[in-house]
């Protein structure tokens, strides 16, 4: 799944770079490097999507065939979480996350321990 995420990012980024190049300066070196990069990422994304067993029961395999954004659509269909997110974690915004229930320091109740006011 990690390879698919990387291929999806490279596919989308290379497409954006190629389109910006076409509509602005049309530099030949950017086209020469970006075209094969985009094509390779596209093929890797298709191969990785078809290799994932969970994709068989969904339309993810067919979505991966859409040039440019197909891999991202396939990842979304597969329900892939962004890298670094623990399953079941609660997001509070501004980067604050609570652990999933049962994943606390004691292994029982989970949650966040807040500091208590102590008398000196």
Separation CA 5–CA 81 (nearest Å): 10
pTM > 0.85: no
Could you tell me the residue ranges of all domains in the chain?
Answer: 2-78
Please state the rounded mean pLDDT for residues 94-119: 54
pLDDT, tens digit, for every residue of 39-76? 999 999 999 999 999 998 889 999 999 999 999 999 99
Could you write out the DSSP letters of every residue in the chain?
A: -HHHHHHHHHHHHHHHHHHHHHHTT--HHHHHHHHHHHHHHHHHHHHHHHH-GGGGGSSHHHHTTSTTTHHHHHHHHHTPPPTTPPTTPEEEETTEEEPPTT-STTSSS-S-PPP-----
């Amino acid at each position: 799944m990690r390879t698919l995420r990387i291929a999806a990012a490279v596919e989308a980024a290379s497409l954006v770079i190629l389109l910006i190049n076409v509509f602005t300066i049309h530099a030949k070196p950017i086209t020469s490097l970006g075209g094969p990069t985009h094509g390779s990422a596209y093929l890797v994304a298709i191969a990785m999507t078809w290799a994932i067993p969970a994709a068989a029961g969904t339309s993810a395999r067919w979505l991966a065939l859409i040039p440019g954004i197909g891999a991202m659509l396939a990842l979304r269909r597969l329900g892939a979480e962004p890298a670094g997110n623990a399953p079941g974690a609660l997001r509070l915004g501004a980067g604050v996350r609570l652990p999933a229930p049962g994943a606390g320091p004691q292994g029982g109740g989970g949650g966040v321990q807040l500091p208590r006011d102590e008398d000196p």
